[in-house]
Amino acid sequence: WQRIREGDAALDLARPLWFSGQEQPESCQTLFAALLTLGKLTSQDVWMRFRQAHEAGSFRLAVRLLDSLPADERPAQRDISRVERNPAQALAKGDFRWSSRSGRELADRAARTDAASAHDAWTLWRSRVSDPERSYGNLLVAYNAARQLLPSANAWYREAEGASQDEQQQVWRVRAALRSLAWDDVARAIDAMPDARALDPAWRYWKARALSVAGKGEDATRLYGSLATEHHFYGFLAAEALGAAVMPVSEPLPADASALAAFGARDDVQRVIRLTALELRPEAQREWLYIVRALDDDTLLLAAEVARRNGLYDRSINTAERTQRRHDFSLRYPTPYRTEISAAAREYQIDEAWAFGLARQESRFVADIMSSAGAVGLMQLMPATARWVARQIGQSDYRVGSLEQPELNAQMGNFYLRHVLDRLDGMPVLATAAYNAGPGRAQAWRGTAPMEGAIYAETIPFNETRDYVKKVLANAMFYQAQLGLPYIALRERLGVVAPRGSSGAPSEVAAIPAGDRPKEAP
């Protein structure tokens, strides 16, 4: 209490604990109560965590958080129950207090479940509210429609012009316009972003695309040119838009056996090696981060090579990625277990660069790693998926522990990748999304008309899966160079996604195990 009253670092330490959609330990509750009593946590902070709890599926926590609000800001219990029980009916009643924060939050919660029904209900009674409330309601419905990939989302966003938008509402404004191919709206939405947000590679690329469609080729070329020097998904797309097929060039350190030996013999480096051998991976990672925290580029590459030679592939990759000017892409995109991964990729006719790109993203080549969700090994197979694959390939003696064997894991992972690829139009962008979030979701995220694969990837509703798909396919670009494979453009890898219902029948897709990896709410 004394530390909180005196305004020292306690608040800074406590705030990250508060902003979680999950229950926190009982030991945190006294601290939270003190911060609320002293006004160090505001009503805005309570509502922010309320949203996080809802998005994480922690509904009991969300309801309990509302008790932290002042009485005049707290929604009635009957309103909360009605929204949880039947969101569409709650919206249809139209008796939310739109002038209050609680009314808007509950309406938002209802719209997240079914934005189409929310729009139908909203159009019946939006004339009864004030202009600011009407503007907010239009935005609320449009935003949730965009996240649910409804074709009408862009038109509904147009009805919300002038409403103040937060970061997520802004970025989904762009995504709704992309799915409608409304390039003028894409440009306007990006122009409305704060400068720092608009400089994100995604929005620079899509702004360039919008400029190009508008016939502003010189402006588009300038944006493409700056992006094309960057080493990521949008850098490849920008380079291809300029007609280039140039791969980044590595600048490896000259071989220096004595320098490598000296660095590898350091006491702290030896501690990392021993901690890893003892399967104390978190401790090893913390020690390694301390070692590399302030190294220059050359020493980072030296450290990355030492880690690689000792089989610490995840540390090697992460260290090589820290360089600012000198880059060695053979360290960022290594090829351990090449015999196992390449053999499995050939057996199931999977592009080897794609298989490596996926394995790198899944495990950083830590063969015995297990995720918090229970996925195991190089290609992070969930036990349910692995059991199904084992039956398909006749692996009668399969055990979960077998997934730590690189050869079997690579075989099973590539079999599953082939299986979803065959049932999702042979499109890597769909199969990559399916590997992470399940085939049913990848199928559901298609549009109602043919869609550029880059737009499909950009508008995936799950943050994790959207980032995953971009990284895996960008990884494949680097790996085709590392492996000496023929060049396949990223736009070709992304392709054009056929509309829902054109192939990959829902019943057929649903029969494939989803991987049962939990994802955050969209």
For the chain, state the CA radius of gyration. 25
Residue pair 469/457 in contact (Cβ under 8 Å)? The answer is: yes
Q: Provide the token pair at 374.
A: 């229970």
* 412-415: Cβ within 8 A, 24+ apart: 412/379, 412/381, 412/386, 413/344, 413/355, 413/358, 413/359, 413/377, 413/378, 413/379, 413/380, 413/381, 414/341, 414/344, 414/345, 414/347, 414/348, 414/350, 414/355, 414/379, 415/344, 415/348, 415/389
Place of tokens 């042979």: 426
Could you write out the DSSP letters of every residue in 148-203? TT-TTHHHHHHHTTTS---HHHHHHHHHHHHHTT-HHHHHHHHHTS-HHHHTSHHH
Q: Which of 105, 159, 352, 362 is catalytic?
A: 362
Measured distance CA(15)–CA(32) in Å, rounded: 9
The total of other beta-carbon atoms located within 10 Å of residue 255's CB is 8
Report the b/e string of 45-79 with b at 16+ CB within 10 A: bbbebbbbbbebebeebbbebbebbeeeebbeeeb
Measured distance CA(434)–CA(465) in Å, rounded: 9
Q: Cβ-count burial of 354 within 10 angstroms (0-12 exposed, 13-18 middle, 19+ buried)?
A: buried
Angle at which helices 257-264 and 267-277 cross, to 10°: 70
Measured distance CA(395)–CA(511) in Å, rounded: 20
Q: Cβ-count burial of 490 within 10 angstroms (0-12 exposed, 13-18 middle, 19+ buried)?
A: buried
Measured distance CA(250)–CA(329) in Å, rounded: 5
Q: What region does 333 belong to: left with phi over 0, alpha with psi -120 to 50, or beta?
A: beta
Residue pair 376/369 in contact (Cβ under 8 Å)? The answer is: yes
Measured distance CA(48)–CA(15) in Å, rounded: 12
**Active site annotation includes 55:** no
Residue pair 17/24 in contact (Cβ under 8 Å)? The answer is: yes
- Identify any residues that bridge with 451 across adjacent strands, giving them in sequence order: 497
Angle at which helices 313-320 and 297-309 cross, to 10°: 170
**Residue closest to 493 by CA, chosen among 448, 430, 406:** 430
Active site residues: 362
